Amino acid sequence: MLKIMIADDHPVVRAGLKELLTRELGRLKIAEAKNAREATELLDKEAWDLILIDINLPGRSGLEVLGDARQRCPKTPVLVLSVYPEREFAIRAFKLGAVGYLNKQTACDELITAVKRVLAGGKYITASLAEMLAGSLGQKPDHAPHEHLSDRELEVLRMIATGKTLKEIAAELALSEKTVGTYRLRIAAKMHLSSNVELTRYALQNKLVD
């Protein structure tokens, strides 16, 4: 029996994925995680055949959980399913070890095609992402400012953009407020933006947050 883990903070999404996967793949063992902590705990409990994960998880980002999955169960394929556009997060996810990246607006047929391909040992790249990658070949790299951020810095930027204070971010990430402040300074320096208002505007314009 295939064992699949679904990490997503929306119960409706988890229920929909569970129903779709069961209908298309038959009898499955499916475990659900509604936040990063539960997802990390599940990594140690079972040898999963597939992990479906969202980027936007309470606690730590899905990208960090993806990194944990690559260390703890490197042979398990991880498919990222997110509301965020491919242009902003797909390459970062692939570099961290994901075998596929799909937007949540993806049709059910494409999702099942992706799941079957990665279960068979392959990778899944959407037509739109393949076109974007092909178009970049031979061109001088033109990186957006946020692409120079580390995964942790990107996470802090996204949390700032949702209106959270440094103290709130520190508590959620289990870091000291001073450490988060240092991340904040690095982000501002790398992106040449000084205020939280400017950082928030940038994140919204580039669809880094909902």
CATH, residue 77:
3.40.50.2300
Same domain, residue pair 158 and 132: no
Q: Is the pLDDT of residue 136 over 60?
A: no
Overall average pLDDT of the 182-210 stretch: 85
The pLDDT of residue 76? 94
- Count of beta carbons in the 10 Å neighbourhood of residue 31: 18
Query: Other CB atoms closer than 10 Å to residue 60's CB: what's the count?
Result: 20
| pLDDT for 197 beyond 60 | yes
28: enclosing H helix or E strand: strand 28-33
Q: pTM for the full model?
A: 0.71
**Per-residue pLDDT at 138:** 52
Q: Which of 81, 113, 136 is the last residue of a domain?
A: 136
Q: Render pLDDT for 10-30 as a digit per residue (tens, 0 to 9).
A: 999 999 999 999 999 998 999
Is the residue at 8 inside a domain?
A: yes
| 82: number of Cβ within 10 Å | 21
Expressed as residue numbers, the domain containing 171 is 145-205
Distance in angstroms (rounded) separating the CA atoms of residues 153 and 16: 32
Neighbouring C-beta atoms of residue 196, cutoff 10 Å: 16
For the ranges 22-26, 101-105, 171-175, 185-189, the one whose mean pLDDT is highest: 22-26
Total of domains in the chain: 2
**Are 59 and 104 found together in one domain?**
yes
The pLDDT value recorded for residue 140 is 52
33 and 50 in a single domain? The answer is yes
CA distance 191 to 104: 28
